[in-house]
Amino acid sequence: MIAVVSSTVSPSALPGHDGARTNLSPEVRLEQTRETVASLVAFGAKDILIADNSPGVWLVERAAALAPARVLHLNQPPIRNKGIGELWLLLAAVGSLGEDQPILKISGRYRIGPGTELSLRDGDDIAAKVPRVGVSGEISTRCYLVRDRSVASRLWQRSLDEVYAERSRIVGPRSLLRILRNSFRPGSDDFAYSDPNTLSVEQASMRALRHLKLRLHAVENLGVEGILGSWTNPRVKE
């Protein structure tokens, strides 16, 4: 099994679109990522890839501290929609993942425990927690397991497409009028086409699963916990 970690160990000190998002120091985030790696080793991951978009050289100079994980350092502009940033990271990492092996995707600084119910049965394409079903259905993207690199690549690409496509959906008269108006003058729209703050990555991933007709094994307990990097830094456990 391969594990891929979407990561930003050392966020930019410069304000982003909506200001700084965390007061956790890079040193604290590095130690939390070390705990992520340790949990993945204990879980049985034979290869661990950390896809990280930290700017500068802070993490590059300390990458050895995350062994046995490999660190793939990617230059990425600041992105307001964290889901988009994560999906681009994952897609950039596809070429560094081996073929024909299950892939565990986990968000940076979370730890997976032995009590997780994530497993793939015969014929399953993905195992994930499903917090919400129906029209607004979503999967938890903190951690999930996919059958192989091909499934992962198609899932991440389609999820990204779903995020970008959301603005083109007609959900009522106002959206229809906006789409018609912007068809004639798209440049006058103040919407950030490159970095849309629209659909969550959780909903986009569920839509991608449905579009691709992937077989989903829904689990109740992810066995994942960690601290959400924000100004309140709540502890999350799923």
> Using CA atoms, how far apart are residues 56 and 154, in angstroms rounded to an integer?
30
Q: What's this model's pTM, rounded to 2 decimal places?
A: 0.91
Domain count, the chain: 1
Q: Which residues contact 111 (CB under 8 A, 6 or more apart)?
A: 35, 36, 38, 39, 224, 225, 226
**What is the CATH classification number for the domain harbouring 98?**
3.90.550
Do the domain assignments include residue 182? no
| 145: containing domain | 2-151+215-237
Do the domain assignments include residue 111? yes
Q: pLDDT tens digit string along 64-115?
A: 999 999 999 998 887 888 899 999 999 999 999 999 999 999 999 999 999 9
Look at phi and psi of residue 152 and say left if phi exceeds 0, alpha if psi is from -120 to 50, else beta. alpha
Q: pLDDT tens digit string along 13-44?
A: 765 555 556 778 999 999 999 999 999 999 99
Do the domain assignments include residue 176? no
- Beta strands (DSSP E) in 86-141 are 103-107, 111-112, 126-129
> Using CA atoms, how far apart are residues 184 and 104, in angstroms rounded to an integer?
44
Q: pLDDT tens digit string along 210-238?
A: 999 999 999 999 999 998 877 788 899 99
> Using CA atoms, how far apart are residues 207 and 221, in angstroms rounded to an integer?
22
Do the domain assignments include residue 206? no
